[in-house]
Structure 1
Amino acid sequence: MQEFTKNDKMVHLVQANHNLLPVIHRFGIRLGFGNRTVEELCLAYEVNSDFFLAIVNTFNNKNFFPKDRLLSFSPLLLVDYLKKTHQYYIDYSLPRIEKLIHRLLLSTPKQNSEMQMIEKFYLSYKKKLIEHFDEEEQDVFPVVEKLVLHPEEVKNTSFDSNFEEEHEHVDFELDDLKNIILKYLVPEYDELVCNKLMEEICHFERDIHDHSRMEDAILIPQVKQLLNAVE
């Protein structure tokens, strides 16, 4: 699979993989690319083009993960991207899946306890995931920002993160949700809605896996390195 470069037209990225569009939006880059290249648009939107390409190529190719390159960027770039990704999940991805589950249940005339379990399980998952995002934004990201901008204020600060374990639970619970739907959905349902729901869940699963990988493999090591530097 190709690796996008600074000289590629931005429109080519979306034509090659339309799933990159939400990722591009997280950098504040809007449609109306014209014939401008990645480098030209990143310059216009004041985006670090090297960081942009590292993220986009990682998202585009599951086997691409330039760990050393990602570790070389300022943690502030990654924190800003992670915050915007959280907001995208909360504003779009999670409500979209919830609406599709609700539509799927409405399309099924014969309800049972297993059918209700689908929606109940998802709402519980959504609640825990948003709580996890809140914890990161309140307890982790501010520490990262202070370590970079005001390291003298965070001396002797401990950082004992269990986020990697929590991320594994996120992956497992998405698998559980898919299995519940596959096993217990009453056969009389709207196929179009069901197919769209499964597509959304699979897309979200891939997206949040990349998100978790950025935090576990890049952000957490960066935080530990910064903490060691101020001890």
Structure 2
Amino acid sequence: MNSYKHLQGQAFTTPVSAHSKMSDIITGSPIALLIITRFGIPLGFGDKSIGQLCSEYGVDTRTLLLLVNSSILDGYDPSTEQIASVHLDSLIAYLSNSHAYFLDFRLPLIRQRLLSAISNCPQELAYVIRRFFDEYVEEVHKHMNYEDRTVFPYARRLAAGERDEHYNIGIFSRRHDQIELKITELKNLLIKYYTAPSGYELTSVLHDIFSVEIDLAAHNYIEDVIFTPYIQYLESKTA
């Protein structure tokens, strides 16, 4: 009997390299598709390798490989040497593009579909769901805007050898409060307390919420295991 489970992606057991074909990585683990898009690498690359595409589009190969391997390999633990080899501009470009993906595309699209799905439910319930979603999005905006306006400029100054005596990456870590928990609450609200008639439209939106929850967790993971340790490394160099 044929199984559909291969369509969910394969479990990579060894790190990919600059010689790996990009198409093989994406078909094997779809999460890599979002990563290369955020690095500005478009589709239609045929059988080109990761190294070839990074060279073609001006992406630091080691940084992209570190993000891909950290995302597709269970238990992958970047070494100190790998963290130190990160190209800051490439990493910040990736993180900034991730912010734009969530704030300008993914979350507005989910909101649009959510409002359509609950348009026939009681007005009071629709109001609560809409308010809860909008408050969640506002928290995401605050979190990501703080990174764009405070954390990333600090990182660039640090890389240039300018130490800020009034700021350190530990402040960011304390503010980095796992924003994906908010969307988990929205998901639970719909599953447990949405009593109006529902159908494919609402369950499709709920599936989107599950998906973006995973995307946000992956985004935060990259910040926790790669970006923050790299900034700590820079701080130690300028101490």
Unmatched runs of 5 consecutive residues or more in structure 1: none
User: 1: distance between equivalents of 2:74 and 2:184?
Assistant: 18
**Is 1:76–2:89 an aligned residue pair?**
yes
Q: TM-score, normalised by structure 2?
A: 0.83
Task: Give the letter for the 2:87 counterpart.
Answer: S
Shift of the 67–104 alpha-carbon distance from structure 1 to 2, 3 Å rule, reads: farther
**Is 1:117–2:128 an aligned residue pair?**
yes
Match of 2:112 among 99, 102, 120: 99
Match of 2:4 in 1: none
User: 2: distance between equivalents of 1:162 and 1:200?
Assistant: 32
Counting aligned pairs with the same residue, the percent is 25
User: 1: distance between equivalents of 2:164 and 2:198?
Assistant: 58
Match of 1:64 in 2: 76
Task: Give the letter for the 2:108 counterpart.
Answer: P
Deviation, structure 1 residue 41: 1.3
Match of 1:154, SS state, is coil
Shift of the 200–71 alpha-carbon distance from structure 1 to 2, 3 Å rule, reads: farther
Match of 1:5 in 2: 17
**Is 1:21–2:33 an aligned residue pair?**
yes
**Is 1:39–2:47 an aligned residue pair?**
no
Write 1 or 2 for the structure with the bigger share of helix. 1
User: 2: distance between equivalents of 1:146 and 1:167?
Assistant: 21
User: 2: distance between equivalents of 1:92 and 1:62?
Assistant: 29
Match of 2:182 in 1: 173
User: 1: distance between equivalents of 2:56 and 2:112?
Assistant: 36
Task: Give the letter for the 1:98 counterpart.
Answer: R
Shift of the 161–99 alpha-carbon distance from structure 1 to 2, 3 Å rule, reads: farther
Unmatched runs of 5 consecutive residues or more in structure 2: 1-10
Q: TM-score, normalised by structure 1?
A: 0.86
Task: Give the letter for the 2:165 counterpart.
Answer: N
User: 1: distance between equivalents of 2:179 and 2:143?
Assistant: 10
Match of 1:222, SS state, is helix
Task: Give the letter for the 1:197 counterpart.
Answer: V
User: 2: distance between equivalents of 1:19 and 1:224?
Assistant: 27
Task: Give the letter for the 2:131 counterpart.
Answer: K
Tell whether the 8 Å contact from 2:86 to 2:230 is kept in structure 1 after alignment. Answer: no
**Is 1:183–2:192 an aligned residue pair?**
yes
Task: Give the letter for the 1:202 counterpart.
Answer: F
Match of 1:226 in 2: 234
Match of 1:128 among 139, 152, 155: 139
Q: What are the Cα deviations for residues 173-213 of structure 1, in whole angstroms up to 9, with x where unaligned?
A: 1211111010122341232x223222222222222112212
Deviation, structure 1 residue 5: 2.8
Task: State the number of aligned residues.
Answer: 226
The structure whose RCO (Cα within 8 Å, separation 6+) is larger is: 1
Deviation, structure 1 residue 71: 4.5
User: 2: distance between equivalents of 1:144 and 1:89?
Assistant: 22
